[in-house]
Structure 1
Amino acid sequence: MTWSEIRDLHVEFLTEQGFRPKVDDEGDIHFRFEGRHHFIMETQEDTYFHLLFPNFYPLANETEVEAAALAASAASRVTKVAKVYLNPALDNVCASVELLVAEPTDVHDHFLRCLGMLGTATGQFLEEMTARLAAARQAIRPA
């Protein structure tokens, strides 16, 4: 099955679920969920599904990059299926769900749960990040 055929199946499903999907210039499917931008990424395999929540936490300095790397690791460790990671430029944090499926439409049965897992992972990240940044600020305060 080609990406075009798979994309059409996902767009139809999202539309039926009340989302307003759009295909972007790169061929990925863009939609909003709870006001946030999400993408179903184009893949070259019909048995691989990649749901991306990109750039949800900007990083401004080395202290934030360090804290974010540890917070992302902690969030990924305790959350099923979802991953949180720093983008290659180390200036933002992303989250994704990646699944192997027998058929491209198999993911539709789990789609809302996948969005929930992204929410859980990003929530875990934000909690951990807040604690790490607070500890870093505390460490640099003069006694």
Structure 2
Amino acid sequence: MGWDEIRDLHVEFLAEQGFRPKVDDEGDIHFRYEGRHHFIMETQDEQYFHLLFPNFFPLAGETEVAEAALAASVASRATKVAKVYLNPALDNVSASVELLVAQPADVHAHLLRSLGILGTATGKFLEEMSVRLAAAAPADAAV
């Protein structure tokens, strides 16, 4: 089964669940969940599923990049299935869920839970980042 068939299968499922999926210019599936943009990424492997919540936390400066790398590690360790990571330009943070399945439709039983897992992982990242940035702030910044 090629990506076009897999994409159509996922688009149909999302629409049945009340989402309004759209295929973007790169061929990925875009939809919103709880007001946030998510993507099911194109893949030619029918046993691999990649759900992406991109660029949810912009980074500015070396301190934020360093703290974000540590916060992403904490969030990824603390959350089953999810990965939180910095993009290659080190200017934003994304999160994803990646699954191996026997058949592409098998992921449908896990999609809502996967979206919740992304919320948990990003929440953990934001919590950890808040603590880290507060600790890294100069003492006289509070004056």
If the length of structure 2 is used for normalisation, what is the TM-score?
A: 0.97
What's the Cα RMSD here?
A: 0.6
Q: Which residue of 2 is the match for residue 116 of structure 1?
A: 116
Partner-residue secondary structure (3-state), 2:50: strand
Secondary structure, aligned partner of 1:115: helix
- Counterpart of 1:126 in structure 2 is 126
Query: CA offset at residue 44 of structure 1?
Result: 1.4
- Matched residue SS, 1:20: coil
Residue type matched to 1:27 in 2? G
**What CA deviation, in whole Å up to 9, does each residue of 1:17-62 have, x standing for no partner?**
0000000000000000011100000011000000000000000111
Task: Report the Cα distance in structure 2 between the residues aligned to 1:30 and 1:14, rounded to whole angstroms.
Answer: 10
- Whether 1:97 and 2:74 are equivalent positions in the alignment is no
Q: Residue deviations 1:57-114, cap 9 Å, x none?
A: 0001111001100000000001000000000000000000000000000000010000
Which ranges of structure 2 fall in alignment gaps of 5 or more residues?
A: none
Which runs of no fewer than 5 residues in structure 1 stay unpaired? none
Q: Letter of the aligned partner of 1:39 in structure 2?
A: F
For the residues of structure 1 that align with 2:59 and 2:19, how far apart are their CA atoms? 30
Q: Which residue of 2 aligns with 1:29?
A: 29
Q: Give identity over the alignment, percent.
A: 81
- C-alpha distance in structure 2 between counterparts of 1:54 and 1:45, whole Å: 21
Partner of 2:47: 47
In the other structure, the counterpart of 1:6 is 6
Q: How many residues matched? A: 140
